[in-house]
Amino acid sequence: MTTISANLQAVTARIASACKAVGRAPQSVQLLAVSKTWPAEDVRSAAACGQHAFGENYVQEGVDKIAALAEHGLEWHFIGPLQSNKTRLVAEHFAWVHALDRLKIAERLSAQRPSNLPPLQVCVQVNVSGEASKSGVAPAETATLAHAVAALPRLKLRGLMAVPEADADEASLRAQFSLMRTLLEQLNGEGLQLDTLSMGMSHDLDIAIQEGATLVRIGTAIFGARNYQEP
């Protein structure tokens, strides 16, 4: 068994046990394998184990892998911050965008989504930790952006996404994840039909799932430690 295959099994077991702890069905959590910085061969190995959805942070790196792996029919999620001069490539090549935090970017993605593709699935990123350096909209501004994004014709708003404070303790992580769930429920109470809470990474997926995550974004625990400085 390859390392990637063993790691995928271990992550799947962690997801199952976090679900069990709070009485959720394991199928209620989707695993997104974050393949940024890893070569196409590693994605191929994970795909051979049945992994279907992959996340990328950098546009050109992602587009190159999508082209190299086209015959596998994989689902590609763009999870990094997106600048307006890169929206077209993302609209043309990805199925999902997770880190929307500006209406201008959403409008460009909607206008640039090719008509032969289904609507681009998107999440609004919320800055739950309140750190000034973090992207994402403030919790109090989430509803305004979410309703505006939901009205765009070629986007399908699926839910909310967050990256909590990296060194937060467990109680603080729980509070941040739980705020996300409250925000999602509020939006659904206002008539939106959102089914996705994109939250939880290698170190905190268990807590995220216990607090309601429906999609976890996992890189290190599947592919190993990345050999570069996060920008």
Q: Judged by CB under 6 A, does residue 87 bind ligand PLP?
A: no
For residue 45, how many C-alpha atoms fall within 13 Å in the half-sphere facing its CB? Answer: 16
Q: What's the min distance (Å) between Cβ of 123 and ligand PLP?
A: 11
Q: Judged by CB under 6 A, does residue 36 bind ligand PLP?
A: yes
User: By C-alpha distance, which of 59, 49, 106, 60 is closest to 79?
Assistant: 59
Q: Judged by CB under 6 A, does residue 74 bind ligand PLP?
A: no
Q: Judged by CB under 6 A, does residue 65 bind ligand PLP?
A: no
Q: Judged by CB under 6 A, does residue 219 bind ligand PLP?
A: yes
Count of positions on this chain that bind ligand PLP (CB under 6 A)? 12
- Return the range that interacts with ligand PLP (CB under 6 A); candidates 63-71, 107-115, 148-156, 215-223: 215-223
Q: What's the min distance (Å) between Cβ of 191 and ligand PLP?
A: 28
Q: How far is CA 187 from the centre of its chain?
A: 19
Taken in order 188, 193, 195, 201, is the CA torsion positive or negative? negative
Across the chain, where does the E strand assignment appear?
30-34, 53-56, 75-78, 96-100, 120-125, 155-161, 196-198, 215-218
Taken in order 26, 217, 65, 6, is the CA torsion positive or negative? negative
Q: Judged by CB under 6 A, does residue 7 bind ligand PLP?
A: no
Q: What's the min distance (Å) between Cβ of 61 and ligand PLP?
A: 12
> Is residue 168 classed as helix, strand or coil in its secondary structure?
coil
Q: Judged by CB under 6 A, does residue 3 bind ligand PLP?
A: no
The token pair at 137 is 């909209």
Q: Judged by CB under 6 A, does residue 217 bind ligand PLP?
A: yes
CA distance 140 to 6: 42
Q: Judged by CB under 6 A, does residue 79 bind ligand PLP?
A: yes
- Return the range that interacts with ligand PLP (CB under 6 A); candidates 100-108, 110-118, 143-151, 214-222: 214-222
Q: Judged by CB under 6 A, does residue 202 bind ligand PLP?
A: yes
Nearer to ligand PLP, 193 or 220 (CB): 220
Please enumerate in sequence order all residues whose Cβ is within 8 A of that of 73, keeping only pairs 6 or more positions apart, or say none. Answer: none
Nearer to ligand PLP, 110 or 202 (CB): 202
Q: At what angle do helices 59-68 and 40-48 cross, to 10 degrees?
A: 50
Cβ(209)–Cβ(181) under 8 Å?
Answer: no
Q: Judged by CB under 6 A, does residue 163 bind ligand PLP?
A: yes
Q: What's the min distance (Å) between Cβ of 190 and ligand PLP?
A: 26
User: Which residues of this protein are in contact with ligand PLP, per CB under 6 A?
Assistant: 34, 36, 57, 79, 163, 201-202, 217-221
